[in-house]
Amino acid sequence: MNSESLNSMGEIDSCCSSEGERKSHHSDNVKNNLVTRLNRVEGQIRGIKGLIEKDTYCDDVITQIAATQSALNSVARILLEGHLKSCVLERIQEGDTEVLDEVLVTFQKLMKK
C-alpha cells in the first residue's frame, strides 16, 4: 500500500508498508535536508569533543551541547511530521488504530528529557 502527502517543504513524501516491511520513502530533497542537518550535528559533536579536550570553560561547552540537542530535535520534528502526515494517516484510513499507540510511545521517547 502506498500513500503520498505534501510535506512542509511542499514536496510529496510517501510511506508504505508492503508485506510486513515498514519503510519510509522521503523525496530526495527531504533526504538531502535531513542528511545535511545530521552532518552538521556530527560536526557539532566533534566540536564539543574538541572543546572538552582543550579544557574549554564548562558553560561554553554546555551551550554547544544545547545547540546540538536543538539541531537533533529539529531532525526528529521533520521526520515526525512526515510520519504523521503519511504513514500514520494511511494506517488510520485503513482502520489500523493501533498506530496511535505506536505514535504515543514515540512521543514519550522524544519527551524523555
**Domains located in the chain, CATH noted:** 2-110 (1.20.58.1000)
Give me the pLDDT at residue 10, please. Answer: 52
Q: Write out pLDDT tens, residues 26-38.
A: 889 999 999 999 9
Give me the pLDDT at residue 65, please. Answer: 98
pLDDT at residue 15 is higher than 60:
no
Helix (H) or strand (E) run with residue 49 in it: helix 28-53
Helix axes 58-83, 28-53, angle to 10 degrees: 160
Of 7-16, 37-46, 87-96, the one with minimum mean pLDDT is: 7-16
User: What is the reported pTM?
Assistant: 0.76
Q: Residue 99: what residue type?
A: V
User: Could you tell me the pLDDT band of residue 3, with boundaries at 50, 70 and 90?
Assistant: very low
Give CA–CA dist 39/47, Å, rounded. Answer: 12
Give me the pLDDT at residue 103, please. Answer: 95
Instruction: Kindly state the greatest CA–CA separation across the chain.
Output: 56
Output the average pLDDT for the chain.
86
